[in-house]
A and B are shown apart, each in its own frame.
Chain A
């Protein structure tokens, strides 16, 4: 498994970013960048090569769904693996995200194992397809 991939964590809550960062580290991923909202994430995506996006749904300025749509609509970025983090109250949004082309979603709270499993699964698919 390539744990060197550059992962972008998008969440407005710094503590949450740290939580995800810690979980990723448990899976051996430590090439991690962070963004506070969709707008910042998008400019990060455009500026640097990002191999994987883990985004929260609910953020100011630009939500995770809007970010996802923007990524999928951008020719250069459209093939970026995208994992959406969501909470149970917003589960109905999952369907919207799926339609917008999300690769998978993960429900808070989750463990390092679940997170890494999902990442591996998504990456395998990108490699295969």
Chain B
């Protein structure tokens, strides 16, 4: 009686089996059997029917083999049939006599002989039908899957050598690809390159998050998934090296996910280095596509592979990851004792998170915990986005730029300006407001958060400090601040240089820091915010700061200044931006590569940005850089010389004035000079430079625009200032690229073309 359930299920299995078409077990049927067997195993376990459990577990194994195609269907079916009969015997014996005296050893033996399955050991199944010990083995065995191997299409070639880990495989693959690399499907390959690189930068972001919170399975998954996807597509595209590396890294993460491997800094390093190599390899595909190389990059993978293989044996450094509790202690929210106590409570059943425990105990507010969590670097991903080709976006923004100009032209058309039609006037102004809104929105389409750049820099700090024997934490603020995608790459290099400077010259070694009474760990803060149409990026360190006297002395020694008289604090710090000034006492691997801060300043100015530095000795240095949000539009001053109109970038303009007659000097050997508020500045006549007939020749009758570039100021002589306007920059085309003094053109509101002046180039022109 008490075996009703079991009897019922077993009979079900038996009748299902009986009605099988031609004794072929397809996947859905196998699934049904597995579920039935799971029930049987559970019941047998509960009722302590050992013999039944062993047989059912054995059958479970057979079915798994059938599913994975590692056993011949017919053979499997035969054993299955024998097993089902045996189960029926057992259960009816129990039903009738309450016991089972029969012998299942014969069946178990045939099971073992044909399949190697030990039905009674839990090596195959944990009783619930899930594979326990063998998943990885099975994964490999499947490559001998007849269904797969029969296919000898080109895509599948060279795939049978999975069994052996590193060595054999890489050799085989090498032979295979060295013959020739064929691009099978160019458009797919292109997609793969773009998406693959995108995924790798995603990996970098998430792995840094993972390092901050190594227990977070979501982060492991977030790193695992891209490798997995890359591997999948690479296998289709015959990119075997890429596939192998992605596969190896994926396996590591899989082990980390299952808890077999702990997320150590060694693991993180291997993954990061691995993804660097992957990135290079994918990058090299681009060169294959454009024909500049015949084969994808084949880096030496032996070192990486051996590191992957030996990952278990390497000694783990003490984790660098700050726990939430530690952050709270550092923030002064709780004391060590409270943390100890809370950790104790948190471990009790049911286990709770430390933050939750602290809040419950009233030792910290949820806000404080949330802040600590945020410090740990949690991120919220935004899922509601679509991916659009950047070129389409660029075209759109370009066309909207044209639209804005056309609209301005219509508005200034005399037949419009003179009209008395009120309806038309209203409609035109409506059109104007819609176009400007449209322009604003379209520019924002290409805006992306600065976050990724910051995270790349955090990664850089990590790499740099490792070499320098310093310990530095990175804090970010305002990483959601947006900037034009086209600017991101441009600003990266100058920012990197500032970071290098901070790490190398700013932050002291741990020893020095402790001696100076500072926390052992240095801190670099990255901050971004919008300010008046610009993005401001601040890089601060809490290092040793700059010594004003030393700076002045050095500048004097190098002959960069004649005396320090009258130099404000601000001006002294600015000395580091002078060409030829470098404070590094020795050339280092990090920042002393002969590139000084002057180059950084120039790079920033090229982008029409500005950079400043402030410092406090012993407390640290801050670089404040300011960049335009986009390269597509500039704020310009429209000036008129003769009949021509020019645009001067507003960022370069210092002053606008009409000089007094007596301020004008013609100094022998130095040319014309103007005295502007006590400074003698050279006068540069735009009409001379561009050979135009001007309206006014005398400066005191015309206007002068004081512009600054390369740390120098000069006065530009113009006839008239028409006004300030935001203009859309147009390139002059490749043919006119190298023209000095002009950086581009723009269509002005009146429909005429105006050239955008490049002060730096103008200065050079005037000095030739």
Q: Please give the residue numbers on chain A whose beta carbons come within 8 Å of chain B beta carbons, in ascending order.
A: 11-16, 18-19, 22, 56, 58-61, 87-92, 94-96, 98-105, 107-111, 113-114, 121, 125
Q: Please give the residue numbers on chain B whose beta carbons come within 8 Å of chain A beta carbons, in ascending order.
A: 26-28, 30-31, 34-35, 38, 64, 67-68, 129-131, 134-136, 138-140, 142-143, 145, 147-148, 151, 153, 155-156, 159, 162, 185, 188, 191-192, 195-196, 199, 221-222, 224-225, 228-233, 235-236, 247, 250-251, 254, 383, 387
List the A side residues contacting B224 at CB < 8 Å. 58
A98 B67 Cβ-Cβ under 8 A: yes
The chain A residue with its CB closest to the CB of B141 is A91
- Report which of A98, A111, A114 forms a contact with B30, defined as CB distance below 8 A: A98
Q: Report the separation of the CA atoms of residues A11 and B155 in the bound assembly, to the nearest whole angstrom.
A: 20
B153 A113 Cβ-Cβ under 8 A: yes
B31 A101 Cβ-Cβ under 8 A: yes
Given the interface contacts A92-B131, A95-B130, does A103 sit within 8 Å of B233 by beta carbon?
no
Q: Report the separation of the CA atoms of residues A59 and B224 in the bound assembly, to the nearest whole angstrom.
A: 10
A13 B139 Cβ-Cβ under 8 A: no
Central interface residue in A15, A61, A90, A105, by most chain B CB within 10 Å: A15
Q: Report the separation of the CA atoms of residues A93 and B379 in the bound assembly, to the nearest whole angstrom.
A: 29
Central interface residue in B35, B199, B222, B229, by most chain A CB within 10 Å: B229
The chain A residue with its CB closest to the CB of B185 is A22
- Report which of B139, B156, B192, B199 forms a contact with A88, defined as CB distance below 8 A: B139
B229 A96 Cβ-Cβ under 8 A: no
CB distance from A109 to the nearest CB of B (A): 4
Given the interface contacts A94-B68, A108-B235, does A13 sit within 8 Å of B383 by beta carbon?
no
List the A side residues contacting B38 at CB < 8 Å. 99
14 contacts between A and B (CB under 8 A): A18-B188, A58-B224, A87-B232, A89-B136, A89-B250, A98-B31, A99-B31, A102-B31, A109-B155, A111-B153, A111-B155, A111-B156, A113-B153, A121-B26
List the A side residues contacting B250 at CB < 8 Å. 89
B231 A103 Cβ-Cβ under 8 A: no
The chain B residue with its CB closest to the CB of A85 is B232
A109 B236 Cβ-Cβ under 8 A: yes
A13 B31 Cβ-Cβ under 8 A: no
Q: Report the separation of the CA atoms of residues A99 and B129 in the bound assembly, to the nearest whole angstrom.
A: 10
List the A side residues contacting B143 at CB < 8 Å. 88
Known pairs A18-B191, A125-B28. 7 more at Cβ < 8 A? A14-B387, A15-B192, A91-B135, A101-B28, A102-B31, A110-B155, A111-B156
Q: Report the separation of the CA atoms of residues A14 and B387 in the bound assembly, to the nearest whole angstrom.
A: 10
List the B side residues contacting A12 at CB < 8 Å. 225, 229
A95 B236 Cβ-Cβ under 8 A: no
List the A side residues contacting B191 at CB < 8 Å. 14-15, 18
Q: Report the separation of the CA atoms of residues A29 and B299 in the bound assembly, to the nearest whole angstrom.
A: 40
Q: Report the separation of the CA atoms of residues A105 and B143 in the bound assembly, to the nearest whole angstrom.
A: 14
Given the interface contacts A91-B139, A108-B236, A114-B151, does A103 sit within 8 Å of B129 by beta carbon?
no
- Report which of B35, B142, B251 forms a contact with A107, defined as CB distance below 8 A: B142
A91 B138 Cβ-Cβ under 8 A: yes
List the A side residues contacting B196 at CB < 8 Å. 15
CB distance from A57 to the nearest CB of B (A): 9
List the B side residues contacting A94 at CB < 8 Å. 67-68
- Report which of A18, A95, A103 forms a contact with B34, defined as CB distance below 8 A: A95
Q: Report the separation of the CA atoms of residues A52 and B599 in the bound assembly, to the nearest whole angstrom.
A: 60
A87 B156 Cβ-Cβ under 8 A: no
CB distance from A121 to the nearest CB of B (A): 8
- Report which of A89, A95, A107, A109 forms a contact with B67, defined as CB distance below 8 A: A95
List the B side residues contacting A19 at CB < 8 Å. 188, 233, 236
Central interface residue in A91, A102, A104, by most chain B CB within 10 Å: A91
Given the interface contacts A98-B31, A99-B35, A101-B28, does A13 sit within 8 Å of B153 by beta carbon?
no
- Report which of B26, B138, B188, B231 forms a contact with A15, defined as CB distance below 8 A: B188
CB distance from A88 to the nearest CB of B (A): 5
CB distance from B505 to the nearest CB of A (A): 42
The chain B residue with its CB closest to the CB of A40 is B383
A103 B28 Cβ-Cβ under 8 A: yes
- Report which of B27, B148, B251 forms a contact with A103, defined as CB distance below 8 A: B27
List the B side residues contacting A22 at CB < 8 Å. 185, 188
Given the interface contacts A95-B34, A98-B67, does A16 sit within 8 Å of B162 by beta carbon?
no
Given the interface contacts A87-B228, A109-B156, does A15 sit within 8 Å of B35 by beta carbon?
no
The chain B residue with its CB closest to the CB of A125 is B26
CB distance from A116 to the nearest CB of B (A): 12
CB distance from A47 to the nearest CB of B (A): 17
Q: Report the separation of the CA atoms of residues A60 and B382 in the bound assembly, to the nearest whole angstrom.
A: 12
Q: Report the separation of the CA atoms of residues A126 and B483 in the bound assembly, to the nearest whole angstrom.
A: 53
